[in-house]
Structure 1
Amino acid sequence: MPFIDLKSQYAALKPRIDARIQAVLDHGQYIMGPEVKELESALAAYTSAKHCITVSSGTEALLIALMALDLKPGDEVITTPFTFAATAEVIVLLGGVPVFVDIEPDTCNIDTGLIEAAITAKTRAIMPVSLYGQVCDMDEINAIAARRGNLPVIEDAAQSFGATYKGRKSCALSTFGATSFFPSKPLGCYGDGGALFTDDDALAQAAREIRVHGQSQRYTHTRLGVGGRMDTLQCAIVLAKLERFEWEIERRLALGARYQALMQGLPVQLLGLRADRDCVWAQFTLQVESREAVQQALNAAGIPTAIHYPKPLHQQPAYVQYGRGKSFPNAERAAQRVMSLPMSPDLSEAQQAKVLAELVRALQV
């Protein structure tokens, strides 16, 4: 059983994907070809954001957002320690300082009740992570940011593209929304890719220039930039996948709800879901004691698992200094207990039933 079934997805979309790829091969505009603008228009319409800027990866999306906001060395960015390294990586690459705030024990998203106390005179931005496919409490985060000097808020939405929060789409909820099209993400390409979303015209223009080495026009470099374009071929693939994306989101919602319903009464901690938002289950993650033994039993039965994430950032060698010697107990506990199970739109009910049956057996180990 695949952990994420990309082969079945491709089989279902093969004519569309192949035709999109062939069109790029035929016109030969592999960099900034027409599919780039077409995808940007489609994604902006989908999210209701005013601007979409495609970029070379989710990491680059975060980096370009911070560059557009003119993050300076020594500036602080409040974020979570329970995330993939890219979230803090981009802050440090620009000379900034990640300031970690612990997570909620049930959602694993940043605890908004702890953010305001972490704000200092050096705080330049807040970067929450919409983990596992469920959006953070963005209204409360935006309210805190507004109270404390209109701080920019960047939603790291690498795992939540397609999710809804109070009737609005992830990526269109703050100063910037940044997502990833890594193949395993809810909307993925066949390599690296990502996108930035904003309603701010000046920030959008800055992001567009930064992604092409800071050029306002060819060979006129008006600002420091990077090589951050998304390839035309990857844009073409996402365009093809976008045609059935709504169906895929419906499947993710249904499969996630079914997983959670079937696990009621088991000795596991299910992800906490808030009533005013949904979860697109980039990973179906739960928390369990004796994780290693449970994983071994599942893997022996042919059920793949993964850990997102086994060590919080303040315990990682590259970022330990930014923990400032503090403990983040909820993040640390989650890191010891989280386990992700197979999840993708093409997961069948029969496969899901097998996962559940083997999980029940494994929990008796």
Structure 2
Amino acid sequence: MISFLDLKKINEPYKKSFQEKTETVLNNGWYILGKEVKAFEASFADYCGAKHCIGVGNGLDALILIFKAYIQLGKLQKGDEVIVPANTYIASILAILQADLVPVLVEPKLETYNIAPDLIQEKITSKTKAILVVHLYGQLAEMDAINEIATRNNLFIVEDAAQSHGAISNLKSKINNLKSTAAYSFYPGKNLGALGDGGAIITNDSELAKILFSLRNYGSETKYYNDFVGVNSRLDELQAGFLNVKLPNLDAENVQRRTIAKKYLAEIKNEKIVLPFWNFSENHVFHLFVIRTQKRNDLQAYLLENDIQTMIHYPVPPHKQKAFPQWNNLSFPITEKIHNEILSLPISPVLTDEEVSFIIEILNKY
């Protein structure tokens, strides 16, 4: 069986280093916001080309805290509208709601699965204050066009970069818009994955960063003195240590993902299958390789019969979720088409050439 994602195999090369890091953390005797978190925050900020990195508990908390920090700064007020792609993972929308803001759904481009810039303007009202851009599946959204819209309408941008670790824009920066703030997840299956939950916020805004450092730690900068109504969402010291071990190899692993993607794109030849768009730049790190087909369930079953495991990211769009009955009658035809047709193929740095070739062969026989 070719696993969709073999996390044991991905982390096997780091096993000895993980054990050594565990010993280091144990021997330090400081287990919350210690040396490993500080070291990772410095390294990841440098990697992303940003001034500040704030380690938090997970990617969802990263987004929530960004919005809450903007509220503390007075740049947002409860009830303000935030534009967000209609086909995103539900976490993007939960973050907006949990900050007492109002999500406004906008259709994606069918070609890229990212938010369609030309559809944003028509959804902007006097209550719109921000755009939450999601770099879905590892491919950067069209930031030049989105920045222009944001500037013209006096909006600020938040980036959900949970799937795009290491993606580089034409500005050669790993944080795609240095005027914005980006949220990352280190869930184990991400391109840079921990062995548990973890997240981080990247920003060049020093005032915002100061508030975020407090908000993640009960709203406290000095122990027992609380300036804000904060939360307990701190990147774990041990997970930070593991991320410190893996970060130096992230770029090489992203190159391997692109190599597999190139082979898929060149050799999958089946008129029943729509391949993903990519301009072959470094703007895509292929967290997922997502194809489309009108008989998605049939294709998935066929692949499984041939010992190839696949996943669906995601089967139900946010506006059709039971959690959002107020949206259930809305129509987003592009989003619905995507969610009905997409299928994610195996793609990871540990997938062998033989496995990739076998997947292509089986797909071409479908």
Gaps of 5+ in 2: none
1:158 aligns with 2:162: yes
Once the two structures are TM-superposed, the CA of residue 38 in structure 1 deviates from its matched residue by: 0.4
1:261 aligns with 2:266: yes
Once the two structures are TM-superposed, the CA of residue 57 in structure 1 deviates from its matched residue by: 0.3
Q: Are the aligned partners of 1:188 and 1:238 in contact in 2 as well (CA < 8 Å)?
A: yes
1:179 aligns with 2:184: yes
The percent identity for this pair of structures is: 36
CA distance in 2, matches of 1:169, 1:184: 23
Alignment of 1:1-365 (within 5 A): 1-70=2-71, 71-149=76-154, 151-173=155-177, 174-274=179-279, 277-322=282-327, 325-361=329-365, 363=366
- Could you say if the C-alpha distance between residues 277 and 102 of structure 1 is closer, same or farther in structure 2, counting changes exceeding 3 Å? farther
Q: Are the aligned partners of 1:307 and 1:340 in contact in 2 as well (CA < 8 Å)?
A: yes
Q: Secondary structure at the match of 2:244?
A: helix
Q: Are the aligned partners of 1:170 and 1:177 in contact in 2 as well (CA < 8 Å)?
A: no
TM-score (norm 2): 0.95
Once the two structures are TM-superposed, the CA of residue 336 in structure 1 deviates from its matched residue by: 0.5
CA distance in 2, matches of 1:115, 1:253: 30
1:17-39, CA deviations, whole angstroms, 9 ceiling, x for partnerless residues?
22112211211211101010100
| AA matched with 1:37 | K
Once the two structures are TM-superposed, the CA of residue 54 in structure 1 deviates from its matched residue by: 0.9
CA distance in 1, matches of 2:214, 2:321: 33
4+ runs of 1 displaced by more than 6 Å? none
CA distance in 1, matches of 2:207, 2:303: 51
Once the two structures are TM-superposed, the CA of residue 277 in structure 1 deviates from its matched residue by: 4.7
CA distance in 1, matches of 2:170, 2:224: 44
Once the two structures are TM-superposed, the CA of residue 265 in structure 1 deviates from its matched residue by: 4.6
For the aligned residue pairs, the C-alpha RMSD in angstroms reads: 1.5
Q: Are the aligned partners of 1:97 and 1:322 in contact in 2 as well (CA < 8 Å)?
A: no
Q: Secondary structure at the match of 1:153?
A: strand
CA distance in 2, matches of 1:73, 1:212: 22
- Could you say if the C-alpha distance between residues 277 and 9 of structure 1 is closer, same or farther in structure 2, counting changes exceeding 3 Å? closer
Which of 30-39 and 255-264 deviates more?
Answer: 255-264
Q: Are the aligned partners of 1:182 and 1:191 in contact in 2 as well (CA < 8 Å)?
A: yes
Once the two structures are TM-superposed, the CA of residue 280 in structure 1 deviates from its matched residue by: 0.8
Report how many aligned residue pairs link the two structures. Answer: 360
| AA matched with 1:32 | L
CA distance in 1, matches of 2:318, 2:44: 31
Gaps of 5+ in 1: none
CA distance in 1, matches of 2:90, 2:243: 25
CA distance in 2, matches of 1:274, 1:126: 24
Once the two structures are TM-superposed, the CA of residue 16 in structure 1 deviates from its matched residue by: 1.9
| AA matched with 1:355 | I
Which of 1-10 and 60-69 deviates more?
Answer: 1-10
Once the two structures are TM-superposed, the CA of residue 171 in structure 1 deviates from its matched residue by: 3.2
Once the two structures are TM-superposed, the CA of residue 141 in structure 1 deviates from its matched residue by: 1.1
Once the two structures are TM-superposed, the CA of residue 9 in structure 1 deviates from its matched residue by: 2.1
| AA matched with 2:106 | V
